[in-house]
């Protein structure tokens, strides 16, 4: 059986260097790290995690808790798992019912002796209400009001600002905004980003074209009808998510409104179907994968006593430009 000492002898380094490469416990030059990793792969070396766990009093396992296995959670979990895999950690995943959250105790789903830390991956940005666990933990796509708590969420305001500015730079000065439910954190932040872009450019905001839906395509359809059936119409619509944007496309298709020739359209989320809509949807991408990786990194830093001083992190969103937007040539 190949041991760390064998890998060290072949690589011409100290056993402690191999250990640092495996565990990330100290800086190692990229040249040495690459050399050691190549030998580890060549000899198919597998660390003895049981002995390692006993020696360090760790399980090298992280618990991941979520209220949903759909929507944006799988991408966040992929990011969590990718980072933890690189650090030789594994994950255990479990689900909790959202309505039972306030009375939930993590020990009901995870044996505290099985995990070194816990990540709560919410399926939508909201304030987390459940009792704080007494082990290292962090939140992703959810937040708390506790100043001592660590969380990672998307920068919805920045994403909406970038989308609105893009439309403005395409000479759209009459822009409608189909928002989500106004009591949602994401809706508030996206509306603020939309307003900030208009204020920065000194443009008029049209309250009659700022409407709230329920994130469904049906509400997007209905609100597009409200905005586009009058004498004065917006030249562009920014929808608060891709589903509502799909409803706008459905309405426009039914009533002969061409996208983007007659109406430019932007969504939000960059969901899987946004690229196969006709036309393909310009949208704002939620950085869910990056958020998952960052949450995992912050948790391991906490476990290793390197907790960041800035515990609240917003990750910027990215505008994905496709076929549903065009420069406005109307006067």
Interacting residues of 284 by C-beta distance below 8 A, sequence separation 6+: 159, 160, 162, 163, 266, 267, 268, 269, 270, 317, 318, 319, 320
Edge to edge, the sheet with strand 137-140 lists 90-95, 61-66, 117-121, 137-140, 151-154, 312-315
pLDDT tens by residue, 26-36: 678 888 888 88
Task: Return the pLDDT at 64.
Answer: 92
Measure the CA–CA gap between 252 and 157, rounded to whole angstroms. 27
Measure the CA–CA gap between 161 and 200, rounded to whole angstroms. 10
Edge to edge, the sheet with strand 210-212 lists 210-212, 175-179, 236-239, 264-269, 282-285, 318-320
Q: Phi/psi at 324 (nearest 5 deg)?
A: -90, 5
Cite the beta strand spans of 122-245 per DSSP E. Answer: 137-140, 151-154, 175-179, 210-212, 236-239
Instruction: Find the angle CA(288)-CA(292)-CA(294) to the nearest 5 degrees.
Output: 115
Q: Which residue has the tokens 């990793």?
A: 37
**Domain 56-154+287-315, CATH among 3.30.2390.10, 3.10.129.10, 3.40.50.2000, 3.40.50.2300:** 3.40.50.2300
End-to-end C-alpha distance for the chain, whole angstroms: 77
> What are the structural domain ranges in the chain?
56-154+287-315, 156-286
Cβ pair 245, 267 in contact under 8 A? yes
pTM, whole model, 2 decimals? 0.80
Per-residue pLDDT of the chain (331 residues; tens, 9 = 90+): 677 788 888 889 887 788 777 766 667 888 888 888 888 888 777 665 544 544 455 678 999 988 888 888 999 999 999 999 888 888 888 887 665 555 566 666 677 778 899 999 988 888 887 766 788 889 999 888 777 788 999 999 999 999 999 999 999 999 999 999 999 999 999 999 999 999 999 999 999 999 999 999 999 999 999 999 888 999 999 999 999 999 999 999 999 999 999 999 999 999 999 999 999 999 999 999 999 999 999 999 988 887 666 678 999 999 999 999 999 987 5
Interacting residues of 288 by C-beta distance below 8 A, sequence separation 6+: 72, 75, 76, 79, 141, 154
pLDDT tens by residue, 281-308: 999 999 999 999 999 999 999 888 876 6
Cβ pair 112, 61 in contact under 8 A? no
- DSSP class per residue in 15-49: HHHHHHHHH--S---HHHHHHHHHHHHHTT----H
156-286 has CATH 3.40.50.2300 classification: yes
56-154+287-315 shares its CATH topology with 156-286: yes
């Amino acid at each position: 059986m190949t041991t760390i000492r064998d890998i060290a002898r072949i690589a011409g380094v100290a056993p402690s260097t191999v250990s640092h490469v495996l565990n990330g416990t100290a800086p190692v030059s990229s040249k040495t790290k690459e050399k050691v990793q190549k030998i580890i792969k060549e000899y198919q070396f597998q660390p003895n995690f049981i002995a390692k766990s006993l020696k360090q009093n760790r399980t090298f396992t992280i618990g991941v808790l979520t209220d949903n296995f759909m929507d944006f959670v799988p991408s966040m979990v992929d990011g969590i798992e990718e980072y933890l895999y690189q650090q030789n950690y594994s994950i255990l995943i479990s689900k909790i019912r959202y309505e039972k959250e306030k009375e939930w105790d993590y020990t009901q789903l995870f044996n505290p002796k099985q995990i070194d830390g816990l990540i709560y991956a919410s399926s939508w940005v909201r304030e987390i209400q459940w009792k704080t666990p007494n082990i290292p933990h962090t939140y992703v796509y959810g937040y708390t009001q506790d100043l001592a708590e660590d969380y990672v969420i998307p920068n919805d305001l920045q994403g909406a600002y970038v989308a609105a500015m893009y439309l403005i730079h395409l000479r759209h000065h009459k822009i409608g905004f189909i928002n989500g439910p106004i009591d949602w954190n994401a809706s508030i932040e996206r509306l603020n980003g939309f307003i900030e872009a208009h204020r920065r450019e000194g443009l008029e905001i049209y309250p009659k074209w700022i409407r709230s839906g329920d994130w469904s395509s049906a509400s997007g359809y209905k609100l597009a009808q409200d905005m586009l059936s009058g004498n004065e119409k917006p030249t562009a619509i920014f929808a608060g998510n891709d589903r509502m944007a799909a409803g706008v496309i459905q309405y426009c298709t039914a009533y002969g409104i061409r996208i983007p020739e007659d109406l430019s359209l932007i969504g939000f989320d960059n969901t899987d179907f946004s690229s196969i809509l006709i036309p393909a949807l310009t949208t704002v991408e939620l950085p869910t994968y990056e958020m998952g990786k960052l949450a995992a990194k912050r948790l391991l830093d906490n476990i290793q006593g390197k907790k960041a001083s800035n515990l609240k992190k917003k990750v910027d969103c990215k505008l994905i430009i496709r076929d549903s937007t065009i420069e406005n040539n109307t006067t």
